Structure 1
């Protein structure tokens, strides 16, 4: 019997997993296709919930832009568990698609944004202090269903309660975090890691500008446009990223990619906002050689048994 995972049978085939809204992939993801082709690897988009796709025909299935799964997370996680040669692995997908993983990272000593949780049906009132807060669902992407509230404003307080109630009515867990004002000046730093022969290695970093201008009124689209620019990672940011990645269940050596999103905390030291291991934008177009490094990371996983 021929093992369909052996590249010796012919040109290796890689699925780049996307959604129906991005049938031809997100523009940044397309940058890896030519570098893979230059090494004899055929890569093509495949929609995660398309029943016509035979996932077993691929030597590797790479999660890229399945950005419509948030309202069907259980279905998505079940699909991931059925797909052979999926990266990142299905158990990581299950763990990482619900942001309650932040509690685990915090307990492990990773500096994270303080986060509270409101379960569906649980009553909630805004805290008495008059700071700014971010409210969003624990399963989300691209700042969808996310709002920023100034609790010194009585209207914002009412809108914050309505936001939590709206998410709870939809059966969604709400997460509530203080708004870190450094994002308005320093922005958010995303550190990108890609697989190499010795495991995950730092590739590049970018700056994301502030995205949240005010309350969420329940009219968001699929995702919001981000203001992106290249950035040089600082030593303290790299240290937090390495500490974060060391806590990933099963270890970081299994991962194809990782994105660690950081913001300066009140004292200026970096704190984790999110650890993106499922379908992060990798911002390949913002760093010289990044598409080639992702192609090599994919080839590294193709060579694994």
Structure 2
């Protein structure tokens, strides 16, 4: 097994690989940009903790298409291409958090959240009650060649919270209520603080409407929802590329993840037995 993880931030990898072994799947961790990797030697490549793609998106997507030409890529390259730019929110066809896509003529909101459309982990994201400051940050992103997105900060995030519904092969595994990353003086460890919750029916219905509109196979999906001021749920993000899956909050989740992978691999009549699977890792 080869793995480069200088920050030690992927705390789900060991549990995932252990569950795969129990399901009869031989897996190992490899760097997505390692030139020595022969991707054709794997029955499948599972994209996981590739959090550096934000600064290398074109390179990452080129890699995804190359891998898909010689192996099974999960999630598929077309999904990764669409999901790594948050302008996908305009195409979902379901209620989403109100979003303004420019530094000009910002709506009159009490507070603003401004971030680039290609980002992860709240990088280059600001929360402010100053409309001019919000516009200035959006303009700075545009000047740097990065498309901005401006959203209202929703107080409900601090009360009801942001809910993440995690699916494996389109089947709901578990739901967590997440602590908002912009709701105060949170440390780095708080980025994964959450608690298990039962989803409400309207949350499940919305999440499954979103997934139903995606034709490609989905090994995993995380649908992040908040409630709007009128109480209705809306999508804040759809994570199909490298989501943290909150596996420790659901004891059966690693097994369900492994079973979902096994089921998808069985769909390909040319798969070897036992399958050998590479799971992508962060890079330096």
CA shift, 1:175, in A, is: 0.4
TM-score, L = length of structure 2:
0.86
CA shift, 1:163, in A, is: 1.7
Aligned counterparts of 2:109 and 2:251: Cα–Cα separation in 1:
44
Q: 1:111 aligns with which of 74, 92, 95?
A: 95
Task: State the 4+ residue runs in structure 1 displaced beyond 4 angstroms.
Answer: 18-22
- The change in CA–CA distance for 1:42 and 1:130 in structure 2 (over 3 A counts) is closer
| SS of residue in 1 equivalent to 2:230 | coil
TM-score, L = length of structure 1:
0.80
1:49-106 Cα distance to aligned partner (Å, 9 max, x none): 111211111111001110011011111111111112110000011111111111111x
- The change in CA–CA distance for 1:19 and 1:160 in structure 2 (over 3 A counts) is farther
CA shift, 1:225, in A, is: 2.2
Given that residues 161 and 178 in structure 2 are in contact (C-alpha distance below 8 angstroms), is that contact kept between their aligned partners in structure 1? yes
Given that residues 135 and 176 in structure 1 are in contact (C-alpha distance below 8 angstroms), is that contact kept between their aligned partners in structure 2? yes
Given that residues 29 and 284 in structure 1 are in contact (C-alpha distance below 8 angstroms), is that contact kept between their aligned partners in structure 2? no
Matched, 1:205 2:175: yes
Aligned counterparts of 1:39 and 1:112: Cα–Cα separation in 2:
37
Aligned counterparts of 2:4 and 2:207: Cα–Cα separation in 1:
29
Partner of 2:53: 69
Aligned counterparts of 1:78 and 1:20: Cα–Cα separation in 2:
22
Q: 2:200 aligns with which of 215, 229, 234?
A: 234
Matched, 1:139 2:118: yes
Q: 1:273 aligns with which of 236, 255, 260?
A: 236
| SS of residue in 1 equivalent to 2:176 | strand
CA shift, 1:29, in A, is: 2.9
Aligned counterparts of 1:44 and 1:25: Cα–Cα separation in 2:
17
| SS of residue in 2 equivalent to 1:116 | coil
Let me know the Cα RMSD of the aligned residues: 2.4
Given that residues 20 and 47 in structure 1 are in contact (C-alpha distance below 8 angstroms), is that contact kept between their aligned partners in structure 2? no
Partner of 1:165: 139
Unaligned residue ranges in structure 1 (runs of 5+): 1-14, 152-156, 215-220
- The change in CA–CA distance for 1:225 and 1:77 in structure 2 (over 3 A counts) is same
Given that residues 205 and 232 in structure 1 are in contact (C-alpha distance below 8 angstroms), is that contact kept between their aligned partners in structure 2? yes
